[in-house]
Amino acid sequence: MRALDTREVKELLNKCWMTHDAMWFYHCLQECGIEKANKINRAAMRAMATIEIRRIKNALGVTQIENFEVLRSMIECALDLVTADFMGFMCSFHSEGFIHWEMPRCFAYNGMKKIGVIGQYQCGVLDRFEGWLDSLGIKYSVTPQVAGCMMHTEGRCFRDYRFYF
């Protein structure tokens, strides 16, 4: 048996966490139907994000987010901690106060398609990111406003976030 490097450990832990998330959604769907599963999933994602970002903020020693550079640095560290290559998204920082989020492929889309509910799925992936921002008290706007799964309707998924300090 060989030792895993840090990247391999992170990939494995994230895959296990996403499998838990997928199985939780699937069983909720079976028990409650798609409307309730969507509602519960999105609420759970936001609630988890609040706790998660507080822990990350404390671990990084961030006391206050007074400008975009501090936010950018913290988001970059947080994303590095909680994302894996298989998730298929990118977050780019284009200018002062602006982030572009892009998902040319999506693990959630693939999973919802496999279980046959992609047409009714209300995406919870970006609820995690927006839950971070909301719990940190960061003022922002997002475009486009999306209901459902943009990957399903548009063939790609993206958001533009503008921040106000």
pLDDT of residue 88: 84
Let me know: does 114 contact 120? Beta carbons within 8 Å: no
Does CATH number 2.40.160 belong to domain 6-164? no
Q: Which of 117, 120, 91 is nearest to 104 (CA)?
A: 91
Q: What is the pLDDT along the chain (165 residues), one digit of tens a residue?
A: 789 999 999 999 999 999 999 999 999 999 999 999 999 999 999 999 999 999 999 999 999 999 999 999 999 999 999 999 888 889 999 877 999 999 988 999 999 999 999 999 999 999 999 999 999 999 999 999 998 999 999 999 999 999 999
